[in-house]
Amino acid sequence: MISKALEEYLKTMYILKKQTGNIRVTDVANKMNCTKPSVNKALRNLKANNLVSYEAYGTINLTKQGEDVAKKVIEAYDIVYLFLKDVLNLDEQDAEQEAENIKSSISDNTLNKLAKYVHKTLDLSNLDCDYDINNERCRSCVRRRVN
């Protein structure tokens, strides 16, 4: 398990990869408003956890596991944000700030239940199944596609 700070680095790297096609230390530092040495320290920790592949002064690549963690962090934020904005009717700025704070302290079990509630309340899709934040798709839906 990695720290919430390292999760934020992964999220930022994933977003940069999607936006620009590559990930550089300078871009991560600029996006996160931190120093290059901070990014390099995070990269060493992420590499030790097999979440990125990176050689000094080279390009940064997320491993499959790193990409999965980044997607989970983004999905957790999105679920909490939707709940705060569209269910509790917080204004956008407050919802963004609160979602950022809450998503880093909420358990997977609570987040799974919140996701089901949000999806049902907003009629986004049917998650009356074995939805799990740790999987890109819910387990029941995956089983249905295999069968």
List of domains in the chain: 4-62 (1.10.10.10), 68-146 (1.10.60)
CA distance 128 to 120: 8
Question: Phi and psi for 87 in degrees, rounded to 5?
Answer: -100, -50
Give the pLDDT band of residue 128 (cuts 50, 70, 90). very low
Q: In whole angstroms, give the CA distance from residue 117 to residue 127.
A: 9
This prediction's pTM: 0.75
Does residue 143 have a pLDDT over 50?
no
| Residue 44 binned pLDDT confidence (cut-offs 50, 70, 90) | very high
The secondary structure of 10-30 as a DSSP string is HHHHHHHHHHHS---HHHHHH
Which residues partner with 52 through β-bridges? 62
Residue type, 22: N
Q: What is the 3-state secondary structure (H, E, C) of 31-75?
A: HHCCCHHHHHHHHHHHHHCCCEECCCCCCCEECHHHHHHHHHHHH
* pLDDT score, position 144: 37
Which residues, 6+ apart, have CB-to-CB distance to 46 below 8 Å?
2, 6, 9, 10, 52, 54, 66
Pick the more confident residue, 137 or 103. 103
